[in-house]
Structure 1
Amino acid sequence: MTSVSTPKAGIITTLGAWLLAFIWISPLLFAFWAAFHPATGASSFDLFAPLTLENFSQVLAAAPFPRYFLNTFLLVSLILACQLVVCTLAAYAFVCFPFRGSGILFMLVLIQLMIMPEILLVENYRTLANLGLRDTILGMGLPYLASAFGIFLFRQTFKSIPKELEEAARLEGANAFQILMRVFVPLAKPTYIAFGLVTVSYHWNNFLWPLVVTNSVETRPTTVGLQVFATVEQGVDWARVTAATLLSVAPLLVAFILFQRQFVQSFMRAGIR
């Protein structure tokens, strides 16, 4: 028996999608509304008050957000650059240079996907303490310089590339590194875009690990800066907190608006299997 899609079913589906979209975006709408209106109390706002930028000016005066942004940018750039290099080389080795025990090693990589980062929090902190890297940007990024998800994703993408292209490149005299850079990497560009967007979003919003290993403004990222800013003796000033939150997520929002088409297409073409 085949089911026939009716206009009524399509309308219900559309209304349901719009409802879910509104529920999802409502916290962001509230943040925009609260950030541009003066607070009349610890948790109340004047709905009919004129729009103002006073909350943003107070936030910038109360906390060194330019420094927080710089720290976050350096941290995310360090992690992304190292992950792209390490994951690309590891995936290339798994696909093109099989060795004894490579299957077991790849299974160990997959097992890491099942381990929550919070489980390794104490041991990672002890390691950084022994290395003298506490309260440093390198220390924050060190546990994430490789990604099991990235290795898996790139390996699956490299496996889908026809072997004939690799063999043709070898006949032209290309060595292993040239084949990687001129054949595999260009053809896996959508996967790189998808992975880059995911890892940047995750580490830009990461909170627990930076909170544990940092204790100074010189290394504190925006997420930890927000937490310190929101903790006040008189209670949380939500107008200023929402303004600070918008400042923190603004780069991600702008990037998504500018590259939303590439964001969707990259996941559609990434071949996540």
Structure 2
Amino acid sequence: MEPKLEHPGGLLLPRGHDSLTRGVARAVPGSVHVLALGGGGYAVGPRDGRTVYFGRNRPLVHVCVGEDDQQVSRRHGELTHRQGRWWLSNTGRRPIRLPRSQWLFAEEGAIPLAEGYTPLLVPGSRDREHLLEVYVTGVDGAQPRSRHDADTDPPRPYALTPDEKVMLVALGRNYLLRDPNPKPLTWKEAALRLAELQPDAGWTAKKLERRVSVVRDRLSRRGVHGLTREEVGEPVGNALNDNLLRELVRSTSLAPKDLDLLDWQS
């Protein structure tokens, strides 16, 4: 029989608690708030060894998520405080999705969470995804102030040469057509389209692969996660190109209007 869950030094957040997207009221620096949509949550201050459990089994977790979904593990994950930070571990059967399409699997080590807001998505049955909001209070302990009248920070697209943009548009066609579950074209498919567009450029699948690898390496050196084999693990599959294309779309380095470069709207 598993031991009864305790809540030492913590605060239970009621069902219907406000979303954490706008931060939390003043709290001890380094505190963590964890909230499941519609299911309540938990907040606790920093202390080495403290752990916040989340999963389907309400009596044995601090935050219940996916209570009616058997694809969610009874204890699907945990947040543990050590070395001055909160670390996320996956203890469930299915991976946890973080921002920027990063996935955390059970066999991987814990990863540290940054200060501020982090949404976590726990996959469930029939394409359901269960949202778990996490907010780590910064060093000043204050709630972020409203910026209603401040100028909007513009996106910062990455610099791409004309050839790089054309080849990435070819590879990422499905992302620019707003496919709900886009995948990169194969090297061969994208190279054939490029060869039609630029018959004298000598496009082949191998050439395209080499050129895209150069862009991935450049962005990886700038701090973009998920563009190396070491970061995504095996089997790699489409992960490297998928992460690259999602980042280029997110940063507006690629946009639907760029499909005009290939005269490829459908």
Q: Do the two structures share a fold, i.e. TM-score over 0.5?
A: no
Q: Which has the larger radius of gyration?
A: 1
Task: Give me the TM-score of the superposition, normalised by structure 1.
Answer: 0.20
Q: Whose strand proportion is higher, 1 or 2?
A: 2
Q: Whose helix proportion is higher, 1 or 2?
A: 1
